[in-house]
């Protein structure tokens, strides 16, 4: 039987020494790895090749995004010309109508009675005219034969003229009654689409009370409400591209056609209309559309989009020191950014050199090399 030659305290000390040697070896390996990962001083100070541009002021159009809706260039509010109770409403909002199509009717009993009375009056007047004409013809024949006096014939002439006037008056009354009867039907004035209505069956309306709006077929406009400060010469001269907000690929070009003469007191904005050139069929009445409007040309620094980086979550660019060629990260204020360029309004001065490619390889105070 083999027994432990060393007492337990000595075995514990040996175990602790072995553990210390293991820990020291691990630390040495870790330090060696750190030493391998850290760049040597000569590599840290080596110039990194980057692409740069020199910032300069350029003419830049200030833009604003607008949203509005498609409306007909021509539309009209329709109203009954006679009062009464609405008997029928034959269309709804969105219905397409033809010129002369009946949209609604009011009760016509009163107008029909007036028309019948006027027709009866005309018939009576016509009968009296026929009799007066016969009397005139007889008196003329007698006076030519010398069988009656001239005064009797003159009275027949006067009666005939009066009868003719009565017929004309009765005919005018009948025409007026026919027109009033026709006005009990409200008709569309042109081919178009019903965009609004304010009448329902059973409702009592007054003459001239608004009932429908019909938007003409044909030309379409994009209507926007804009801030007064946007309405500059630059805004008025440009050609707009109007797009459906839901489907931006559906678009049409447009020109400014109207600026409202007053400011809308409820919104503080001004209504503008853009007449669209051959809008696609998808741009139906009421469609929500948008456009980008240029309203002012200013001087700004425009850089390639690749120059943009960040500093503490804020937009920044790398600026190259003109003397030492060391770079520093500088926060900037942008007016616009897209896939091609960024517009700087603050943070960069004209003449400063900005890194546009190679930003991932540099750090503050890194020396860089670039082509002049």
Rounded to two decimals, what is the model's pTM?
A: 0.55
Contact 355, 50 (CB under 8 A): yes
Q: Are 224 and 283 members of one domain?
A: yes
Phi, psi torsion values for 23, nearest 5 degrees:
-65, -40
Whole-number pLDDT of residue 26: 37
Domain total in the chain: 4
Question: At 68, is the pLDDT very low, low, confident or very high (cuts 50, 70, 90)?
Answer: very high
Q: Are 247 and 356 members of one domain?
A: no
Assess whether pLDDT exceeds 60 at residue 208: yes
Nearest to 354 by CA among 300, 306, 298: 306
Whole-number pLDDT of residue 45: 59
With respect to residue 356, please indicate whether it lies within any of the assigned structural domains: yes
**Domain-terminating residue out of 268, 298, 328:** 298
With respect to residue 10, please indicate whether it lies within any of the assigned structural domains: no
Question: What is the rounded distance in angstroms from the CA atom of residue 153 to the CA atom of residue 24?
Answer: 152
Question: What is the rounded distance in angstroms from the CA atom of residue 318 to the CA atom of residue 330?
Answer: 6
> Looking at residues 152-175, what average pLDDT do you find?
91
**Domain-terminating residue out of 277, 298, 319:** 298
Q: Which tens digit of pLDDT belongs to each residue from 129-147?
A: 999 999 888 888 888 888 8
**Domain-terminating residue out of 298, 330, 349:** 298
Whole-number pLDDT of residue 11: 34
Helix (H) or strand (E) run with residue 167 in it: helix 150-182
Q: Are 79 and 207 members of one domain?
A: yes
With respect to residue 21, please indicate whether it lies within any of the assigned structural domains: no
Torsion, CA 42, CA 43, CA 49, CA 53, rounded to 10: -70
Q: Which two tokens stand for residue 37?
A: 């990962």
Domain that holds residue 100: 75-107+191-217
Q: What is the Cα 52 distance to its own chain's centre? A: 41
Q: Are 81 and 207 members of one domain?
A: yes
Q: Which tens digit of pLDDT belongs to each residue from 299-332?
A: 889 999 999 998 888 999 999 999 999 999 999 9
With respect to residue 6, please indicate whether it lies within any of the assigned structural domains: no
DSSP strand pairing (204-205 vs 84-89)? antiparallel
Q: Are 81 and 201 members of one domain?
A: yes
Q: Which residue has the higher pLDDT, 8 or 328?
A: 328
Paired residues of 204 in beta bridges: 85
CATH number of the domain bearing residue 115: 1.10.287
């Amino acid at each position: 039987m083999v027994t432990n030659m060393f007492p337990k305290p000595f075995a514990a000390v040996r175990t602790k020494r072995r553990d210390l040697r293991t820990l020291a070896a691990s630390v040495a390996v870790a330090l060696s790895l750190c030493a391998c990962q850290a760049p040597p001083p000569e590599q840290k100070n080596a110039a990194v090749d980057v692409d740069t541009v020199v910032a300069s002021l350029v003419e830049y159009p200030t833009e604003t995004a607008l949203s509005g809706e498609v409306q007909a260039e021509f539309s009209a509010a329709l109203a009954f010309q006679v009062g009464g109770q609405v008997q029928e409403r034959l269309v709804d909002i969105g219905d397409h109508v033809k010129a002369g199509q009946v949209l609604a009717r009011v009760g016509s009993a009163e107008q029909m009675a007036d028309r019948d009375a006027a027709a009866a009056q005309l018939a009576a007047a016509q009968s009296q005219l026929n009799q007066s004409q016969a009397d005139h013809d007889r008196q003329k024949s007698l006076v030519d034969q010398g069988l009656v006096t001239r005064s009797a014939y003159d009275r027949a002439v006067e009666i005939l003229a009066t009868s003719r006037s009565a017929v004309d008056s009765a005919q005018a009354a009948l025409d007026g009654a026919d027109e009033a009867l026709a006005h009990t039907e409200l008709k569309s004035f042109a081919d178009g689409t019903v965009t609004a209505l304010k009448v329902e069956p059973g409702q009592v309306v007054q003459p001239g009370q608004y009932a429908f709006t019909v938007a003409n077929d044909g030309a379409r406009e994009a209507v926007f409400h804009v801030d007064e400060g946007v309405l500059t010469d630059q805004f008025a001269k440009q050609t707009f591209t109007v797009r459906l907000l839901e489907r931006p690929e559906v678009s049409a070009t447009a020109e400014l056609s109207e600026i409202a003469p007053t400011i809308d007191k409820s919104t503080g904005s001004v209504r503008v209309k853009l007449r669209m050139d051959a809008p696609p069929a998808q741009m139906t009445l009421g469609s929500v559309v948008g456009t980008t409007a240029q309203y002012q040309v200013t001087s700004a620094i425009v850089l390639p989009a690749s120059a943009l980086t960040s500093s503490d979550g804020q937009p920044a660019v790398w600026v190259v020191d003109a003397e030492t060629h060391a770079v520093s990260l500088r926060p900037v204020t942008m007016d616009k950014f897209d896939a091609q360029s960024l517009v700087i309004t603050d943070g960069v001065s004209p003449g400063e050199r900005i890194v546009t490619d190679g930003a991932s390889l540099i750090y503050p105070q890194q020396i860089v090399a670039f082509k002049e």
